[in-house]
Every structure is written in C-alpha cells, then in structure tokens.
Structure 1
Amino acid sequence: MKKRLLTTLMAMATMASVAADDALWQRFASPSDEARTKVWWFHGETETTEEGIDADLEAFKEKGVGGVVFYDQVHGDAAGAFPSMSPEWWRMLKHAARKARQLGLTFEVAASNGYVSGGPWITPELGMRKTAMVDTVVTVVERQSVTLRLAYPGKGFSDIATVMFPDKESLKDICIEPRRLTAEDNRPLTISYDAGRTLSIAAISYATNPRGKGSTGSMNIPGRPRERYFGAGFVDLPPIGDLEYSADGRTWERAAQLPAVENVIGHKSKERTVSFPSVSGRYFRVRLHDWMDSEGKLNKLQIENVRLSARDRIDNWQVKAGLRTEVYYPHEEGEDTGAVDPATVSDVSGVVGPDGTVTLTLEPGTWHIMRFGHVPTGGRTKHGRKNLLGLEASVMSAEAARVHYDHYFGAICDTLSAIGCKPDGMAMDSHEAGIQNWAEGFEKRFSRINGYDITTWLPALAGYIVGDRDKTERMLLDFRKAIASTISSEFYSTFARLCHEDGVNFTSQAMLNIDADNISCRGRVDKPQGEFWAYQANGNYDCLDAASAAHLYGHAIASAEAFTDSPYRSTWDELLRIANLAYCKGTNEFVVCASSYQPWLDRKYDDDNSKHPYIFHRLNPNWATSGKFWNYQARCSQLLREGRPVVDLCIYLGEDLPLKTMAYKLPIVPEGYNFDVCTYDALMHRFSVASQDTAQGRLAVSGGMRYKALVIQDRTFVSAEAQRKIEQLERGGVPVIWCNRGETVAEGLRRHGIGPDLALRSADKPDDKVCFYHRQADGADIYFVYNHSSNDYDAPVTLRTKFGTAEIWNPYTVERKKASMTAGKTVQLHLEPYQSAFIVAR
C-alpha cells in the first residue's frame, strides 16, 4: 500500500512538473500582451489626423507592440500642430484613447507637455529654486549703530535668514581680475598680481565658461575601475591652468591646479573655489595653459572674477552646497584659518525689513552680515507644444507636484475616464532641468531630518568653514542628503500617491544632474525605469539602477526607455544586441524611444535629417520586417518576469550625492555573479538578516528579495550610522565584503564560500563577454544568456540549480531542444556571435 501510494505521489509530481513546464513554454511561445514592448508615441511635430492615429495604432498592434505612451515632444517647427489642450487636441487625444482601447493596446500618457513636469501653472514660487546670498562686510572703530541696505541677491528672492558674525579685515578676499578675459586655440593667458607685501593665500575662486560634457550628465558605461570618471561621450578635461606664487617675482612655485567647470545640462553655475595648503608670497599669477581638450573642439576659454583668499575655504563648495553637480576628486586642502566660530553667529533675521534694510549695533571690529535666501533657478520644461511650456515644478515641494498633476495628467485622466478610457498609467521622463537645493520651508525639513538647526551653519553654503573643516563637510553632506530625501518623498512619492488615488500606474526615470538618490527616487514609483541609447554598444548602468530599485523596493517590473536615437540605418538584429545587455541587467520591460506620429497615409513626416529621428513607426522602410523584433522582446520579457530575480551581490554605493552607479568606482565582480546596487535609504530601512531559507541568501530585503553578500564599494563615504547597520547585519550572519578596506570581491567570495551562479569563462571585456540573468520560478531555474561577442562561444557552463534536466529555448526562432546536463549541473552551451538563449532547468 505504501509503495503504491509513493508511486502515485511520484507520478502526480512528475505530471505537475510537466504541466507547469508546458504552461511556462506556452507563456514563452505566446507571451501575454502585458509583456509586450510599448512605444513612446511622440506628437506635436505635425498636424494630427484621425486616419493617422488609426493607422499608427493598427500598425503597432499588427507587428506586436503592446501599447503606447502618448507624449507631446517636439524638436522641429511644429507646423500645423494643434495647441496643447485646445479643443482639437482634446478631440484627437480622445480618439487615440478609444482606438487603443478598441485594439487592446495599453494607453499611457506622459506626465507633462514636453519634459518633465511643469507648465504655465507653475509660478516662480512653485518652481525650482536655489540658494543665493549677499555678503556685506562692515568695519567700525567704535561701538555704533549702523543702518545697511542688504541687496537682493537675485530676482524673485525670498529670505531664509540673515546672520552676522565677527571677522578679521585681513581675511577679506582680494579680487585680482574682475573682467572677463578670453583665450582661444589653447593660447596661454596670464593674470598677474603684486600684493606689495607678503601675503598668505589658501584658496582661489574664479568663474569660467562650462565646457565639455558633465560627469553627472553622462551615462555610466561598463569598464574596469579607474582613478577618474569615465562615461558615454564624456571627455575628462585637463586643468585650465595653475595658480603660482613667488617671493621675488622671478622664481615661481605652483600653489594649485585650476580644474575646469563641467558643462552639465541645466546648470548655470560657473564659479569654482579651489582650496589648498596655505602659501606665502608677494607675487601671484594665474597661468592658463594647455587647457584645450585632446580633440581640439573646446577651443575657447573664458575666466573672470578671479579672487584670492587668505581664509581657508571649503574646496569646490559650489558642488557641495548643491549649486552644481560634478564628480568630486579629493585632494590636499588647507587647515581652518578664518573658520567661523559657530558660537559667534547671530541670527538677525528679525530686524531685517522687507526692503532689506537692517539697523544693527556693532562692536568695534570687522563684521560679516550675510543675507541668505532662495531664488528661481530658471529651470523650464522643453520640447513640448509651445503654448504649454513653462517653469519646471519644484522637485522639493509636494504642493508643486500636486499643482502640476492636477493641471496636466489629472485633467487628462479625468477627461479620458469620463469616456470610459482611463489611462493605464502616467510616464515620467528623466529630469534634466538642472539643480535645485532649496524650497520654501526646507530649513524645517533639514532640522527634522538631521536633528539640528541650519541657521548657524548657513555660512557653509557660501564656502565658509564653520567650526572646523570636518564638521563643515559633514554638515554639507547632511544638506545634500536632506535634498535627496526631500526629492524622493515630496516629488516622486507625491506623484505616486496621486496616481494611485486615480487608479493608474506610475512609471518614472530619475534625476540626471541634481543631488538625488536615483535608487531611492525610483523605488517610490510602480515601475522604475532606466534608459539605454542606440550608440551605447556595450550597454550602461542606468538599467542596473532601475532594476536594483525594483528589487529593493518590491516592484515586479524594471522598465527601460529603449533604443533612444536609433538611426534609420539600424537593423532590427543590431538593436537586439543592446536589448540583450539591458536584459542582463535585470530589465523586463521596454518602452521604445520613440515613434514619431505619422499623420498621413501617403507620405512620411520627414525627419530623415533630424538630430533625433524616431524611427519606430509604420513608414520606416524596414517596418514590414519588424515583427520578429517585437516578438523577440515579448518572449524575453515574459520569461524575465517569471518567479523572482536571483542576484548574488548588493553593492553599497555610499551616501555622497548624487547617488547612482559610477562605473569608475565599481569593484571588479568576477564572471558568474550578478549584482544590484543600494544606497543609504535601502540599507537602513529595507535590509534585515534572513532567519529562514538562508540558502537563497542571508541578506533579506522587505518584499522578498535576497542577496548572498553585501559589498562595500571603495572610495565611498560610509557614515557612522551606516557602519553600525552594516556591522549589525554582519554579526547576524550576512557576508560582508569590505572593498573599502582593500578586499577584492573575488577574495571576499572565496572567504565566504560563495560559488558562482553560472560558472563560465569568456573574455570578460565590455565588448566581448558572455553575460546572463537568472530568474527562479516554481519548478524551474531560468537563465537568460547572451554572447556579446563577434566570436562563437562553445564551452561548458555550470548552473546553480537543484534540477537535473535542462532545455535551451531560442527566443528568436521559438525553438527548444534538450541539453545534456551532468550530475555536476554542467551544460554544453553553444552561442553564435551576438546570439542569446534561455537555459531552462527543471
């Protein structure tokens, strides 16, 4: 009886496994509409016609596209285009939503006219804002009452606080060149200054024209770690020159190199301060030389407002105060000469009149009266229909987010819902409007987050050392972290809440060039989204950041803006190469950038010579052959949504802003392991020690994700609070690999006995490697493998699986074949150049 029962149970288990396998294969061979790629459907370049809408959507459906994101994005002259939200615009939008619903296509709408979130309804008070300051220095010889008119630091100024502190006359900055000087074609230029006596100088400030492509505005691409940043299209600019000093005007020594100011999208800050160990001399000169880039494209250099300071200053404080974002390289700095004693800082805001007039009783000596406030950054929406372009909404204000939502997407959602065509979601592009470091009331939020008042420390936002250098640097880090926290909670979380109240999904990318935590930001939305461009032949890490956010914050979908700026000469198979790289980073949804709406049936909108052609439309000469392209993506996305992701390592990126994967600092991860990245928010609020199913990993994440080890990246800041949490996890049994203590990832993996998820050997170079992604489903381990190489790959690979049989599934041909698996879980894998396959073990 027992034997018959055991046989019956074994047979039932086998039948269940086969049935599950058949169901898995059926989902792969005939993927669901939800797994199908969507397209950003760009409108606004031309007139809009019902026949054009119908033809576009029918072509999408026929070829296997799953849905559209209706997106007004304009790069041309928009001849004949309807104004946004005009009666004609509404009529066409409703028609498009109805037609999509009829065809079974999803219909989402972009968050704004153009990008990314703003319009005429955003007032300067609700727009993006930055700190501004006027520093008035007064010297009195006896106690007296002084009335001053403190100038407004900028148009649209609103006060934060006015502070006063004593100083020394000898510490005043010396302007050695107020004029704007220009050098061209790498010609040297010298600015000379004779102090007439010996001076000690510890800092120099100057304004120069931003040049090149900013480090925080370029995509991070794969490569081995380096000392300095590298990225897609980024050129590491040489210093623009040197500051030199001399006692006699004949023998010169260098005090400091003068770095360039990077040209980052949306930034307007041109000033830079360089701190260095104090030097003494009578003569000083700024020598601009060898400043041109290696390609000779940046052949013009301007410099103005050059100032020397006897006071030790915070190096590159403009970046540390959130007025600009650049990769920061530490170097030898000075001491604390001229540091402001926090006990002497007085808040005199209460006696400053509305017009800036203040009357103060001053004791003998020199006094700084610093009026701090905030002004509009001038950040505006762009590439939309002209009538609804306007200021970008503050990314640090829930009210601004609500006002924008109500005026744009909320109005669209209400209107389409009324005709039975509620949008499926709201989609937000990457934020590229520049920096923001203040919003009304931010001083209260800073105090709540950090536990101390910012008023005493305000001089630090102008580069002054308050107390000592270490305390000031920590305050400035607290400041940037508070900005990042506010962006996540007030901007992204508010939009997510409003979308959920309206019953729609929220897909969003993150911040390009602002002090944000791009992992935490994306974690607040339903579908974290990265992006990859057609020219990035070896992929990028933005998709990894989005997938990490999905895994850390419990989201099933990791989306990607896909194939951006693909030229018409691209073949579908060539584009699938970069698609495969995104899949290997954890992406399981594509939203293609883009399809330019085609209003006519007999001719194509002529964008052949456009800087930004959007080729994924029915009048592309290659459209008729695109079916395999779309179906391949659907099959891959379908399987890459099954079960749960298997990722061995989570790399802690630290706490200094802006936070995103920086390839130049990443540790070398051996082949056979995948990794996610995390930041302070997830470390402190999402991580714990697993007490059950520890074979999946001891590092547990709220929502179900597991990792086998936590890796602490080198060259990153780990606060005392984060250090305590990491050590607590380690004491609980989580393997920690301390790259910031000199350990390599390979050494740490050996120390903890963590074997590879997929043991393989390839060239392991960015342009020549086999990469993979692993999902674990009920009854199956699913490995997506891709040969990113011009060479065949034919070698054994060993799976980390409990199952004893395997098949190879081809997502392009929809063929399956059995693979011989040894007792050691080894499968012989053959992949042609740039071929992919799924290994399904069961």
Structure 2
Amino acid sequence: MKKCIGVILWMVLGGQAVAQERRPDLENRFLNPPASVKPYVWWHWMGPNFSKTGITKDLEAMKAMGIGGATIFNLASAVQETHAPTLNNPWPEQTYRSPAYWEAIRHAAAEAKRLGLEIGLHNTAGYSTTGGPWVTEERAMQKLVWSKKTEEGGKILLLNLPKPELPIFQGWGSPKNRATFYKDVAVLAVPVGTGIRVNQVIDLSSKMDANGLLRWEAPAGQWLIYRIGHAPTMANPHPLPDDIIGKSLEVDKMSAEQNRFHWQTVIDPLKEKIGEYLGDSFKHLLIDSYEADFQNWTPAFRAEFFKRKGYDPVPWILCFDTKADKKPFILENEEQTQRFLWDFRDVVNQLFFDNGWGIGKKGAQESKLALQFEPYEGPFDIAEGSALADLPMGEFWTHRGGIDERIAAAARAAGRTVVGAEAFTGRPEVSQYTEDPAFLKPTANEGFAAGVNRLILHHWVHQPFDDKYQPGMGMGWWGTHFGRHQTWADPGKAFISYLSRSQALLQYGEEVGDYLCLESLQGFGDLISKRDFIKQKITVVQGKIKLESGRVYPFLMLPNTPEMPVEVAEKIKNLVAGGATIVGAKPLRSTGLKDYPECDTQVAKIGNEVWGSGKKYGKGNVCATLEEAKRLHGIKPDYVIEKADSAQAVKVIHRTGSEGDVYFVTNLSKRAQQITVSFRISGKQPELWQAENGNIANAPVWNEKDGRTSVQIRLGDYQSAFIVFRKPSSKTDHVTFINVENNVEDWTVLPQREGGPNVLFSKTPLKASLGYASGKTRDVKVSGATEKQLTGPWEVQMKPKLEAPFTLTLADLVDFSQHSDPRVKYFAGTATYLKTIQLEANALRPDKRILLNLGVLNDIVSVKINGKDLGVLWYPPYQTDITQAVKAGGNTLEIAVTNNWANRLIGDEREPADFEWGTDRGEDKGRAMKAYPDWFIKNEVRPSQGRKTFSIWYYYRKDSPLKPAGLVGPVRLELMDTKAI
C-alpha cells in the first residue's frame, strides 16, 4: 500500500543561514521578534496587595520571558464565584486610587519605559465593564420598570399608582443591592382585550401628580393602567478592589453626558499622575468583555429614538410586558410589534456606540492612548465594535475554543492588521497549577487559525511579596498560571518564543479575504456592519468595492434575509449602478417601523429595479449565489486541502504583503497527518518557516501545475508550520511527490544540512518512489533505525523551587510521584539527569543521523550534549537530532526536566494548616485562604514547617492523586540511515 508523506517539522534543525544584516525585514522580524509582535499579559493587581519591589521583579521577568507588555487590572484581593476578598491584607492603606496606588502606577510606567515594555490599564476597577465608585445611581445603567392596575372605566378614577419594584442586579458582582433611584417615564392606559391598536394607548402622564396620585375620567370598559419609569439596573463593575465593593456601579452606556464623565474620571488622573508616560510606555486603555447585562433606557432615550426613527417609542414599550409564555405584548399585530423591537434594538446599538464606546475611544485617542476592546456578549454589534477598536480582541479558554471569527473578519475590513485575544483563561477544574506549554499549544493554534495574531495571556498575577512565598498570589481560583513564580517560567521561554515568531508572521501585511460580507459572515470573506456600511464613503474602482480602510473587494455578499433597511437598499443600488457586484436574493421589504409602510414600498421598488433586470444593473452585476460571483470574477480558491487524513482539522490563514505571501497551516487533530495543500500561488519557491526553532528552509516536496503550487508536509498532533512564498522558484529538479510502500508512516524528509542535499530517513526499512519536476522517477531504499536504550544508573541533580538542592542516584528511571522519598514524591522544580554515552566513529558517518528520544516525561525539558545547548522540547514527542553535538567516544548528556507545582501543593496538604480556611468550592475547584495569617503579616517563622508553598487558593486535598513527574523514558538513541534525494 502506498502512502503520501511529507516533513516532520519539529525535527528540522538545519536551514539556510543568511547574515542578519542582509536579512529582509520579514525574516529579521521572524528571527528577532520586536516587542510589538510578542505576547502580552493581563497583569492582575489583587486588592491592596502591590509593591514597587514586586512590580520591578514582575516587569523584569516579563522582559526576560519574552513578553511585550501588560495591562493592569485592579481586582479584589481574591476572585471567586462569590468575589469574597482575602481578609487581613498586609497593606490595608493601599486602597484603590490612594496616593500609594498612584505611586505604584507611576513606578510601573517608569519601569516599563526602562525595560522597553508597553503597559496599559483596564478602564474600570474589576474586569467588567465601564464604571467605578464615581458612578451614582443617577449616572448608572438604566432599565424600564413598571407597575400596573386593572380598573373599570365609565367614571372618574382617583388612584394611587405605586412605584414599580426597583431592580436588584442578578448578574455577576457583589453585593446584591436594590436600587433607590427612580424616575417616571409615562403613565399609559390601554383597553383590556386583544388586538390593541397603538392609537388606543392613552398617555395619562399629565394626570398623575408627583406622589403617584392619578385623577382620570375613564371611558367605559376595563382599562389596564401602567406607571412606567426607569431605575438603575444596579449592575456593578466586578470583581472590585476590597475597599470599593458595594460602592461602584456601571455607567449608563447610552448617555453621552455620563460616558464623558466616566472617561474623564478615568483619564484625567492619569494625565495628572503619569502624564509624561502617556503614549510612551503607557499606551492603552482596555474595555474587557461585556458582563453588565442589558440596558434598555436612558433619560434621553425617547428623544434619541424619535430623532433616529421618526416616531414615539413610548406607546410601543408596552410590548415589553411579556405574557406568561414570555411572548411580547402585541400592539397592532405580530409583524408590527417585531418591527418596533427591531427598531428598538437598533437604537440601543446606536447609542451604545455613539454615546458610549465612541466617547471612550475619542477620550483615549485625545490622550495619545489606544483603545483595546472585546466587543461581544452585549446588546451591540460585534462587527461594529471590532471596527471601532484600535485593537479588537476576542477570547479563548483552555478547556474550549471560543474565538468569534466575526471579530477578525470585521477587523480586516476596517484595516486593523492586529487582532488580539484574551488567551488561555482557565477554569479551576482544569487550571490547578498543572498547565504547561504542551497543554496550551492546541488552543494557541486554534486562536491563530481564527485570525488572532496577538495573544494576551491570562494571567500574570502581580507578586508583591517576598519570593519565599510561592506560588504566591493568584487570581483566586482562576488560571492559567503564568508569572515569575511558575516552575517552568525559564524553559517556558521556548513556548513564548514560538508564540512570538508565529505572531511576527501573522501580523505581517494583511490577512487575505476574497470578498466583503454585509452583517453576516459567510465563507472566506471580510465583514462590515450595517451602520458602518451606511456611514462610510464606499467607492467603486474599476468594478471593485473600496472601503475607507483601503481594503478592496470584487463583490459584496448580502445577508440571507428578505428584509433590508431603506438606507442599505439605496446604497446598494448606487454601488451597483456604479459598477459593483452584489450577491444575494432580492429584498422584499424594510426592517422596522420607520416610515412604515412607505419604507416597504421603497425597498421593494429598489429590489425590482436592481434585481429585476437580470444579471446586470447599471455598470454592475447582480449574482444569485456565491459560486456565480466567484466565476464572474475568476476567483479561484485561495488554498485547497488536496490530501489529508482529516481535512476538516486542517486550518489555513493567509497573509500577504510587499515581501510575498505567508500561509499558516495547522493540524487541529490529535493525530499526526500527511497533508498536501494547493495554494493560489505560482512561480515562487515554497519555504518552510518553523516558529518553534526559527528554522527557514526550502520545502523539499512540492510541485507547480495550472498556476497553483502544491506542498506536501507532515504535521504532528496540533502542530503548525508556515509556508512562505517570497523568492522565484529555481529551475532545478525538486521532489514533487513521494509514495511509500508497506504502509510506513514514521518516515520523513529533512531539508539540507550543511549545504548538502535533502535526506530521507525512517525508523523502519522502506521503499519509496520519488517524483521530480522533470518527470523522472526514482526508487530509493532506506534502511531502518538502530536503537540503543540508555539504562541506569542516572545521577540526578534535584533543584526544588522552595527547598535546598540535593542529588540522588536512580538505578532506573521512575515517575517521581512513585518514589518513596518525600522530597522526590512531592518534588516541584527542575531535575537534571546526567549520563555519559559512548558512540563509535561508525555512527558519525555523513549518511547517519542520531536522534535522542526521551520517551515519556513531565512536563518540559532542555537538553545539552557536551555542553552544547540543544534547546527546549515543550511538547511530545520529546525527540531531537543530536548529530551535530556528539563525537566519537564519551559524550556528556544533560537532560533538565521541569515539572509543575501540583505534587508539592498536594504534599503540603498532608501538613497542618497554619492559616484559617475560607470558602470551599468542593474538591474539583478547591478552597480559599480566609485571611493572611498574623505570622505572615509579621514576617515570623511559619508555624507549620512542613508546608513549603504559600498561596491564596488551594486546589488540592491531602488525598488528591499525585501527578506524573520527572523523566520516565525509556531514553533511546536512534541511529538513522539516510538517503539523499
């Protein structure tokens, strides 16, 4: 049986060296990533627990680890589901916005400048959304509330209308205070019955006095009387620093006055305290994900609605009084009620941007700051929010995906070349100081495949205390636990380098999108919101649609709906008349009640004009399907997965710029795959750029046909590679396909080494048929590998994070958690295994390669041979080519394996607790430390000497299962015979 194979990229160590001073910019950025392409972090300051010493150490550690910048969050001293703070904090005077706080912020800005890092600040205390202790109930988010009575008419009614019950916020945040502020909107009466007409709604507002006394001469019949007002939703920013819990509210998102007040209150102190750093080391403000729940009113809403829609919304707001089945109160008929609700949602969205987020961006820009924004989960348009932000952001967690691809698509259309993501947020069930780079790799590649090109790591918690307290401060029960106290912080730099190199290429040029989508993302397109489409000056240049961002598209894809606002229909008509191509079904009617029913007539008329003349209108074209539009414009697929074991698991991102084209290819499968990808590129040499080690080499297996280039690669599970086209293709022969007999899967092609040819090798004997560009074929035979297992004894130098180093000798490799010595069983740190290995001169012939296979290990490893650093292996298989580092005779092997904190934390639970337990969320989530103990505050000797670790959240119990740790092996040398191709 023949099997197509390609290249195992993690084994590629050779490459094409180019002098750094002559490297093109793209290559130089890849090999030497600047700060702007490196991952950033969210830097959580927990309540009053911050220190200048800790700030400096954190920032220096970020610099050393390869982090580009940080966003400061001011949170509660512990963050849990209950948001309960930790008591007895050591610096109670360091309250939010106290003199000590501003001194710390200034110190952070100065240190960031010294280190060449960027910092910024979340605009409010907590991580959601916009508000603070300066927001009173009058300034807060508002919602409609009402009370109602049923009365018999035909007489003068003298009624006391009670105030509606006022809200208690039911979302995240604490405490659950009931609103006290209330203001009337209207008193309305409607006849009891079905089929209520709007003109039957009677406004009685002038007939009620300030005390709620209504005097009304009611017509005969039964009447339902509403007292409608607005009150604060009581949504609060959260989780708040300890001193302002219960003293803060979310600002009214639809009031220009209140948003100007909020953003001025945020920015003015920054100008005063750190003005010289604004736009320098202090560069951004952030709006995190929206968790403030809904808002449906603001004092000016009635006037704003009338200005935008041309009719009074107040009679229609009765439809919010839902029936028992949760369906709206029907006015006129079902269609008109739904049209009003569409108008209402549209005005809410407009006000969120015009009077809310837009004011925040304007305030930031006027202060030389960029606005970062996660524009989702709220009553506003994701695409419009993505276009508004200077850095639009998504979010993904370790236990699932979650990036909304609309964010990147809308960012592209708006000309944003960098798209961020809150990355690796971890739930307590899965992030228990057990996370490592291998665990994080799949979600990182999923994020990149969704269009993200700046990961902002969640989280790096500020460590204000003495370094003897580790793992130290956490964000309550949340992860992932990056930071300077992480066990693998030093070898983990290899993972950060992988992210940085990947982002250097993923931020290059612009991401390719073949066409533009309106409102609804479809296929391989970019996205523009309805409002941006209406507001922008969009032109048609040589039959193509050009946005204000400069992005150009061959056609516009319409949403799959028969409704269309009049303004959209008119703009589409003008674009097509000017030569544009549109794709979609003819619109039949309008969306809301604005100018109803004339609006329907207008839309239908435009639909008949533009769609009614066949496939042409004016200078432009009207296509019914996406395929038809692609054929019309000659658009071929940007890439095609020609061969793969699981094609749906292969994702591709394409960036293009002045230096060429870059494709990110990732395998999102748990199994390795042989993959052939065809690209819409011709006349250029495909190169393989490996972000894991910085290797650049010509792709050894590829061919060109019919204006497309196909490349064969082999990707391991959740592995990625970049295929770069930047140089003209050579005229020399190159392998265009490889077929293998005997169903052999574990062989590969390595690019040239030291100027020699590509080589073919395998662990088992095989016969391969090679095809060349000239049409020639040639069979080659490759013998299998000879394995040599390295057995004990092993000298192991143990360097625990919190104890004195020691050395032991192991007769055989063993999982540390199975060892009898408690120092080993509960070890957390780096264990370096030492051994001398003998090699005969025959093993070092030019046609030989020697691989070191470490087998099973936990969790990350660096390898040295004869003092030569061979780098870090941070995900399995833990295997590396050591050919260039070994010599005939004795060779010194050093294998430094770092495990995580878990076993040490479990071991400590077997010792008495020298603090009081707080909230216990169960064995799957852990429990809190209630208060900092007095011995800690006074810096005294800790009572429980057997406890080595110190933290504010404890995930484990004394009987929690230990985690595998150390080098388990077997460790093997694999001597490979290779064949030049």
Distance 1:412 1:151, change over 3 A: same
Question: Match for 1:384 among 240, 246, 250?
Answer: 240
Does the residue aligned with 2:684 lie in a helix, a strand or coil? coil
- CA 1:492–1:35 in structure 2 vs 1: closer, same or farther (change >3 Å)? same
Matches within 5 A, 1:214-613: 338-389=194-245, 390-417=248-275, 423-462=282-321, 463-512=328-377, 514-536=378-400, 539-542=401-404, 544-565=405-426, 566-599=431-464, 600-606=466-472, 610-613=476-479
User: Do the aligned partners of 1:417 and 1:423 also contact (CA within 8 Å) in 2?
Assistant: no
Cα deviation, residue 753, structure 1: 4.9
TM-score by length of 2: 0.60
Give, in whole Å, the separation in 2 of the partners of 1:609 and 1:505: 26
Distance 1:607 1:740, change over 3 A: farther
Corresponding position of 1:814 = 694
Selected match of 1:90 from 102, 113, 135: 102
Pairwise CA distance, 1:122: 0.5
Alignment of 1:679-718 (within 5 A): 679-686=529-536, 688=538, 690-692=540-542, 698-714=544-560, 718=564
Deviation of the 1:152 alpha carbon: 0.9
Asked if 1 retains the 8 angstrom alpha-carbon contact of 2:137 and 2:232, the reply is yes
**8 Å contact kept, 2:417–2:511:** no
Q: Contact 1:111–1:428 (CA<8 Å) still a contact in 2?
A: yes
The one-letter code of the counterpart of 1:517 is D
For residues 170-190 of structure 1, give each alpha carbon's deviation from its aligned partner in whole angstroms, at most 9, with x where no partner exists. Answer: x3xxxxxxxxxxxxxxxxxxx
Structure 2 SS opposite 1:806: strand
CA separation of 1:547/1:808 partners in 2, compared to 1, >3 Å: closer, same or farther?
Answer: same
Q: Distance in 2 between matches of 1:419 and 1:610?
A: 31
Residues 459-517 of structure 1: CA distance to partner in whole angstroms, max 9, x if unpaired?
Answer: 223233222221111011100111011111111101101111111111111242x3211
Q: Tell me, in whole angstroms, the C-alpha distance in 2 between the residues paired with 1:682 and 1:765.
A: 38
Contact 2:583 2:624 in 1 (8 A): no
Instruction: Name which structure has the greater RCO, CA cutoff 8 Å, separation 6+.
Output: 1
Secondary structure of 2:237's counterpart equals coil
Task: Note closer, same or farther for the CA distance 1:488–1:109 as it changes in structure 2 (3 Å cut).
Answer: same
CA shift in 2, pair 1:584/1:87, >3 Å: same
TM-score, with structure 1 as normaliser: 0.70
How far apart, in 1, do the equivalents of 2:289 and 2:638 lie?
33
Relative to structure 1, is the Cα distance of residues 590 and 608 closer, same or farther in structure 2, using a 3 angstrom cutoff?
A: closer
Pair 1:746–1:770, CA change in 2 (3 A):
farther
What is the CA RMSD across the aligned residues, in angstroms? Answer: 3.0
Query: 1:650: how far off?
Result: 4.0
Question: Are residue 832 (structure 1) and residue 715 (structure 2) matched?
Answer: yes
Q: Is the 8 A contact 2:186 2:228 kept in 1?
A: yes
Q: Tell me the amino acid that sits aligned with residue 160 of structure 1.
A: V
CA contact (8 A) 1:409 1:426 kept: no
Q: What is the number of equivalent residue pairs in this alignment?
A: 629
SS in 2 for 1:822: strand
Query: Per-residue displacement from partner, 1:799-824 (whole Å, max 9, x unpaired)?
Result: 22365232221111111112345253
Match in the other structure for 2:90: 80
Q: Pick from 646, 655, 669: which aligns with 1:789?
A: 669
Quote how far apart the aligned CAs of 1:586 are.
2.0
- The one-letter amino acid paired with 1:452 is Y
Q: Tell me by how many angstroms 1:369 deviates.
A: 2.6
Q: Is the 8 A contact 1:758 1:800 kept in 2?
A: yes
Find out whether 1:124 has 2:137 as its counterpart: yes
Q: 3-state DSSP class of the match of 1:546?
A: helix
Partner of 1:758: 639
AA of the residue aligned to 2:65: K
For 1:20 and 1:699, the matched residues in 2 are separated by: 39
- Which 5+ residue runs of structure 1 have no aligned equivalent? 1-17, 172-337, 655-660, 662-666
Deviations 1:603-655 (A, max 9, x none): 2244689531341101111111121222222222222222222112444445x
- Equivalent position amino acid for 2:687 in 1: E
Gap change, CA 1:80 and 1:403, over 3 Å in 2:
farther
Contact 1:687 1:702 in 2 (8 A): yes
Amino acid at match of 1:152: K
Residue 583 (structure 2) aligns with = 736
Distance 1:774 1:629, change over 3 A: same
1: CA distance, partners of 2:503 / 2:276: 33
Mapped partners of 2:56, 2:539: distance in 1 = 54
Deviates more, 1:599-608 or 1:477-486: 599-608
Evaluate the alpha carbon distance shift between residue 375 and residue 710 of structure 1 in structure 2; reply closer, same or farther with a 3 A threshold.
Answer: same
| Contact residue 145 and residue 230 of structure 2 kept, 8 A | yes
The structure-2 alpha-carbon separation of the partners of 1:65 and 1:769, relative to structure 1 and needing over 3 Å to count, comes to same
Looking at structure 1, the residues matched to 136 and 48 of structure 2 have their Cα atoms a distance apart, in angstroms, of 29
3-state secondary structure, aligned to 1:624: coil
| Paired position in structure 2 for 1:635 | 501
Return the alpha-carbon distance in structure 1 between the equivalents of residues 434 and 210 of structure 2: 62
Conservation of the 8 A alpha-carbon contact between 2:373 and 2:393: yes
Can you list the C-alpha shifts for 1:105-127, whole angstroms capped at 9, x where unaligned? Answer: 11111111113222221011111
Give the C-alpha shift of residue 37 in structure 1.
Answer: 1.3
Between the aligned partners of 1:788 and 1:738, the Cα distance in structure 2 is 35
Question: In the alignment, residue 34 of structure 2 is paired with which amino acid?
Answer: S
Matched, 1:26 2:39: no
Q: 1:392 and 1:631 mapped to 2: Cα distance? A: 39
Q: What is the CA–CA distance in structure 2 between the aligned matches of 1:687 and 1:711, rounded to whole Å?
A: 18
The residue correspondences of 1:39-78 to structure 2 (distance < 5 A) are: 39-44=41-46, 47-74=49-76, 75-76=78-79, 77-78=85-86
Q: Distance in 1 between the 2:74 and 2:684 partners?
A: 52
Q: Distance in 1 between matches of 2:159 and 2:646?
A: 64
Using the alignment, how far apart are the partners of 1:623 and 1:717 within structure 2? 55
Q: Which has the higher mean CA deviation after the structures are superposed, 625-634 or 32-41?
A: 625-634
- Higher-Rg structure is 2
Gaps of 5+ in 2: 1-19, 80-84, 167-180, 322-327, 589-622, 727-981
Q: Tell me the amino acid that sits aligned with residue 151 of structure 1.
A: P
Distance 1:581 1:707, change over 3 A: farther
Q: Distance in 1 between matches of 2:122 and 2:185?
A: 35
Amino acid in the other structure paired with 2:704: T
Counterpart contact for 1:40–1:70, Cα < 8 Å = yes
Residue 781 of structure 1 aligns with an amino acid whose one-letter code is D
Is contact 1:804–1:821 with CA below 8 Å preserved after alignment? no
The Cα shift of 1:714 comes to 4.5
Q: Which residue of 2 aligns with 1:135?
A: 148
Percent of paired sites with the same residue: 26
Could you tell me which residue of structure 2 aligns to residue 149 of structure 1? Answer: 160
2:644–2:674 CA contact under 8 A, matched in 1: no
**What is the alpha-carbon distance in structure 2 between the residues aligned to residue 361 and residue 465 of structure 1?**
26
Q: CA deviation at 1:825?
A: 2.7
Could you give the per-residue CA deviations for residues 341-369 of structure 1, whole angstroms, max 9, x where no partner exists?
Answer: 22233323223211122212222222233
- Conserved 8 A contact 2:132-2:237: yes
- Contact residue 339 and residue 464 of structure 1 kept, 8 A: no
CA distance in 2, matches of 1:813, 1:162: 70
